[in-house]
């Protein structure tokens, strides 16, 4: 009963965390390679 509520929230939390870390690392990678302008362009599209 309890796990039915907890597990989906935990999965959602983990998925948000993975998305955040992916975006963070990709932004750092893009900054090193292409500079700030590329990030503004890619986030805008």
Q: What pLDDT score does 38 carry?
A: 53
| 36 or 6, greater pLDDT | 6
| 30 or 13, greater pLDDT | 13
Q: What pLDDT score does 6 carry?
A: 83
Q: Is the pTM of this model over 0.85?
A: no
Quickly tell me which residue has 């090193």 as its tokens.
Answer: 32
* pLDDT tens track for 16-45: 888 888 888 888 877 766 555 555 555 554
Residues 6+ apart with CB under 8 A from 7: none
Quickly tell me which residue has 């750092």 as its tokens.
Answer: 28
Q: What pLDDT score does 45 carry?
A: 46
């Amino acid at each position: 009963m309890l796990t039915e509520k907890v597990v989906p929230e935990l999965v959602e939390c983990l998925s948000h965390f993975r998305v955040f870390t992916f975006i963070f690392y990709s932004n750092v990678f893009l900054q090193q390679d292409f500079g700030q302008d590329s990030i503004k362009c890619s986030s805008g599209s």
